[in-house]
Amino acid sequence: MTKTNTGRFFEDFVVGETIHHATPRTVTAGDVALYTALYGSRFAVQSADAFARGVGYPHAPVDDLLVFHIVFGKTVPDISLNAVANLGYAGCRFLHAVYPGDTLSAISEVIGVKENSNGRTGVVYVRTQGFKQDGTEVLDYIRWVMVRKRDEASPAPEAVVPEVPAALAADTLGDAAPVISGTYWDDRLSGSPHRFADYLPGERIDHVDGMTVEEAEHQIATRLYQNTAKVHFNQHTEGQGRFGRRLIYGGHVISLARALSFNGLANAWHVAAINGGRHVAPLFAGETVYAWSEVIDRAELPGRDDIGALRLRTIATKDRACADFPHVDAGNRYDPSVILDLDYWALIPR
């Protein structure tokens, strides 16, 4: 019997099963520095202890997406090592601020399985939770992936397809944000005078800058997250594969788009929830990522007069500037440049 983990196949997932993922991970100032170096993020709360303390945190929290990537990375060896495709995620909430020194671990529950009609693959739905060392839940999301069957002859399990929320309600947001002092919040230091009241649904913002990605960069990032998906790292096999190249981790694109979005959304400091996201097309090294955002909703949070929530659609493209907001055509087909369509809630001071 081999001691090597070759990953679960579709048949190995049983609805109701709980999977404790390996390798808890202490997040440190080293991870934060690397995150800055990989994306160039400039949100003041995450960048500066002094600013974070002034507005209400004990000190600078770790970037929300770094927390997401670390928790997500833990799930890869158990959930998606034999995945054919990442189909979607939903209901992703950031529930508690994470600080350097916190140790993160992850647990997933299998909440649905549905074999595909081809009999070769199936869809697996999991709910993943990320925790701190003291049991505090910091992250919660649903993800569904298409996974190969080990044996095409094995019988199909009873189909269970969970309800997946289209979007999170505003009253579920804000748990990870302390009461924010809008008085201390210095718009000169945060980089923008625009606050909650200045953004209106329908508004579109071009984030202007472009960022070219190198192989070393996305590999360093994805290993930092201890994400073991083979397609990101192995040119020897990927060179023979569908694209002839290593595929960049989709989360790397999300973090690039979020960092670029600083230019236009500088005060939207905290990702409170991700309603859903679609990796429309793959990104490869040497390509340049641009982004733009649309405000698709705006919400007050119950009992919070310090902050509000903006629901944003952030579109990332490759090798195409976003001054004219490339998205979908009349037939709802994505512009060929689009690589990411992300729907999320960000918090912003009043």
Q: How deeply is 111 buried, as exposed, middle or buried, from its count of CB atoms within 10 A (0-12, 13-18, 19+)?
A: buried
CB of 260 to a second copy, least distance (A): 10
Residue 69: count other Cβ atoms within 10 Å of its Cβ.
24
Query: Which span sits near a second copy by CB under 8 A: 27-35, 177-185, 300-308, 341-349?
Result: 27-35
> Alpha-carbon torsion 38, 43, 46, 51, what sign?
positive
Strands (E), 202-330: 204-206, 211-212, 270-279, 288-301, 304-318
Q: For residues 101-120, which are near a second copy according to CB under 8 A?
A: 101, 103, 105
The single residue among 136, 154, 183, 237 that binds a second copy, judged by CB under 8 A, is 237
In the 3-class helix/strand/coil scheme, how is 253-273 assigned residue by residue? HHHHHHHHCHHHHCCCCEEEE
Question: Which CB sits closer to a second copy, 304 or 320?
Answer: 320
Nearest CA to 300 out of 289, 292, 308 is that of: 308
Question: Shortest approach of a second copy to residue 223 CB, angstroms?
Answer: 4
Identified binder of a second copy from the candidate list 246, 252, 270, 298, rule CB under 8 A: 246
Q: How many residues does the chain have?
A: 350
**Cβ nearer to a second copy, comparing 43 with 144:** 43
Interface with a second copy (CB under 8 A), residue from 109, 140, 215, 294: 215
> DSSP assignment, residue 319?
S
Best CA proximity match to 285, nearest among 321, 256, 326: 256
Binding to a second copy by residue 129, rule CB under 8 A? no
What gap in Å lies between CA 211 and CA 23, rounded to an integer?
Answer: 32
| Choices 86-94, 115-123, 264-272, 297-305; region in contact with a second copy by CB under 8 A | 264-272
Tell which one of 153, 155, 158, 188 touches a second copy (CB under 8 A).
188
- 146 lies in the site for a second copy, by CB under 8 A: no
- Check residue 100 for interaction with a second copy (CB under 8 A): yes
Residue 131: CB minimum distance to a second copy, A: 10
Q: How far is the CB of 132 from a second copy (least distance, A)?
A: 9
Contact between 150 and a second copy (CB under 8 A)? no
